[in-house]
Structure 1
Amino acid sequence: MDPLRADAPGYAAPFTLRQLECFVAVAESGSIARAADVLRASDSAVSDALTAMEKTLGCRLFDRRRSRGATLTSDGLAILSIAHRMLSDAEELSAAVGNDASALMGPVRVGAVDTLAPVIIPRLIERMRTDHPALRVDFRTGDQPSMIDALERAELDLVITFDIDVPPELRRRSLWSTHACVVVAADHPLADRGSIGLDEVADEPMVLLDIFSSRVHTLELMSSRSITPRIAYRTDNYELCRSLVARGLGYTLLMRRAIRSQTWDGAGVTSLEIDPSPRDVEILAVWTNRGHPPRVAAVVEAAAAVGDTVLMR
């Protein structure tokens, strides 16, 4: 008997790739209507695909309620990562037999920590429009814990973040590196120095950029130099942090980047190197081991190329 025949022993194809796509789209969006928008299908077509898949598998994959959308059941959660992997493998199989860049299409969901998003997301979208016009970069920003959580819940395909307390089980690609510097007001007594020691500002008030990666790195760096900072203000807003510093309300530590010295309120800041120099911190693209389809791989490669342009600034 031909082992590839549908009636051969052990052969089973109980659902289609389209049903898998509908299942994953509803799981990620939490609603049949939103999934239908993503898939450019009707609500009824998505609902019918789910019903057929549930009937074939003999289990409920979602609790469907009008007021609460569609919530995964334990059975649905059990197969979500498998469905991701199967769709990834199918996409890779299709891409393996052709070199046409237009074969790469659809959305790639990118998360980026707030302080990196303005540096990389616009350039990444611009590059993808040139290299792979059928791909669409959908992005979300936030702090590192929320981005990693969304990645692990399959709401994002990859995250761009600092290499600071990134879970070791995540796969990664280094994009570029940076390091911390001291930022002071333009008229600060030390502003004309090329570099300073952290002990020279240790007794001054600090404005702490109070987001996860910055807070962890800043406090660890200060502790490694036996300095307990006098934190006068905390903010999770990058530009507010710079504006507070520009008005002489304290110094801060920020990652080195090419950015205008003028703040939004018209004042100015100066960046100074730290002596001795702190360790470099990698900027990473990270993803899970659920699968890495060609369209996501293409975005990672583009992010690395964007990283090269950041380094040249």
Structure 2
Amino acid sequence: MTHFTLKQLRYFIAVVEEDSIVEASRKLHISQPSISVAIKNLEDAFKQQLFIRHHAQGVSLTSSGRRVYEQARELLRLSNALEQNARAENEIVSGTVAIGCFESAAPLYMPKLVAGFKRLYPEITIELYDGEQHELMHGLHRGRFDLAFLYDLELGDSIHKERLNAPHQPYALLPAAHPLARQPAVTLEALSHEPMVLLDVVPSRNYFIDIFKAKGYHPKVAFSSPSIEMVRCMVGQGLGFSVLVTRPCTGMTYDGEQLAQLDIIDQMPASTLVMAYLRNNEPTKTTRLFMDYCRSVELSPPARRL
């Protein structure tokens, strides 16, 4: 009979994901010899070589190791789910939920959601990460995140997604003193004659450009930045307009300039914020509790509900 432990599998997965026993040792705060012994014991138990060792260059998986890695991840996921669900059924509501959120939306939504949830379930640990869409998708597929909050753009069929109560129509951002800011709303045609400050993160940048191109307009991108606050500050300084979906509750920039948020008259495809998880990765009890809470929260800014 083959004998191995969940601890050995955790060490093995860490080595795979760090591509190095040294880096896995640092991540887990475990000595390198302990990890090496665990890997050797797994290879003996499975009667297979799991890694190819490269002198001074880390390790890489064998084809057998790749298959073991995928199955080990699933086994640890099931083990974690069993533990959390069993504890929850005993009314000990505790555990950990690892959440990734799209970086431009994270500051506006996640602190509010986490604070409200922690008041209801103080024993549940929330681990938060923010990043670009491809980082969140990679984290879901590698098992780093239980749940991700991202925009419903280019997600694919492997993701289960659910729309949140958040703004989803793009709006125009202009300096408060701009002539167009005196109007109640603006058209894409009017904006296309102005220099644009583009939020330069995937998939947002493609989405914002495409809503113009779909109407036959070609905006002149004068500046771009992956930071939503940098974009807002550049607009505030009169360097151009921007189009965004995330609506901060203040019309003032970091450096004290006033902005105007205008609805766009044209019909455009929505950019919907969703909470998502892998279809083949059933959420744990604690993850479902967090999802239930998110469904109950209205995320639109109180000053401008869409």
Task: Tell me whether the two structures share a fold, i.e. TM-score over 0.5.
Answer: yes
- What's the secondary structure of 1:267's corresponding residue? coil
- 1:276 counterpart = 2:237: no
The alpha carbon displacement at 1:290 in A equals 4.7
State how 1:74-223 maps to structure 2 within 5 Å. 74-98=63-87, 99-100=89-90, 102=92, 104-106=94-96, 108-177=97-166, 178-223=168-213
Say if 1:171 and 1:77 are closer, same or farther in 2 by CA, change over 3 A. farther
- The amino acid across from 2:72 in the alignment is A
Partner of 2:249: 259
Tell me by how many angstroms 1:232 deviates: 1.6
Q: Which position in structure 1 is the counterpart of 2:229?
A: 239
Distance 1:130 1:208, change over 3 A: same
Per-residue CA distance 1:14-40 (angstroms, 9 max, x = gap): 323333333334433445566567767
Q: Judge conservation of contact 1:185–1:248 (CA < 8 Å) in 2.
A: yes
TM-score by length of 1: 0.81
Q: What whole-Å deviation, never above 9, does each CA across 1:114-154 have from its counterpart, x for those lacking one?
A: 20121233234434544444443333332212332343344
Say if 2:199 and 2:226, in contact at 8 Å, map to a contact too.
Answer: yes
Alpha-carbon contact 2:105-2:246 (below 8 Å) kept:
no
Give distance in 1, aligned partners of 2:46 and 2:165: 46
Instruction: Pick which of 82-91 and 150-159 moved more.
Output: 150-159
Aligned residues: 299
Matches within 5 A, 1:16-35: 16-30=5-19, 32=21
Identical aligned pairs, as a percentage? 25
In 2 relative to 1, CA 110–33 (structure 1 residues): closer, same or farther, beyond 3 Å? farther
Alpha-carbon RMSD: 3.0
Residues 28 and 67 (structure 1), Cα distance of their counterparts in 2 relative to 1, 3 Å cut? same
- Change over 3 Å in CA distance of 1:79–1:288 after alignment to 2: farther
Name the TM-score, length of structure 2 as normaliser. Answer: 0.82
Contact kept? 1:150, 1:156, Cα under 8 Å? yes
Aligned 8 A contact 1:194 1:273 in 2: yes
- Structure 1, unmatched stretches of 5+, are 1-11
* Residues 237, 91 of structure 1: alpha-carbon distance in 2 compared, 3 angstrom cutoff: closer
8 Å contact from structure 2 (residues 185, 262) kept in 1? yes
Is the Cα contact below 8 Å between 1:84 and 1:291 reproduced in 2? Answer: no
1:102 and 1:133 in contact (8 A); partners too = no
Measured against aligned partners, the alpha-carbon deviations of 1:146-195 in whole angstroms (never above 9, x if no partner) come to 33234334444432210111122222232234210011101011213221
Q: Cα–Cα, structure 1 residues 104 and 29, in superposed 2: closer, same or farther, change >3 Å?
A: farther
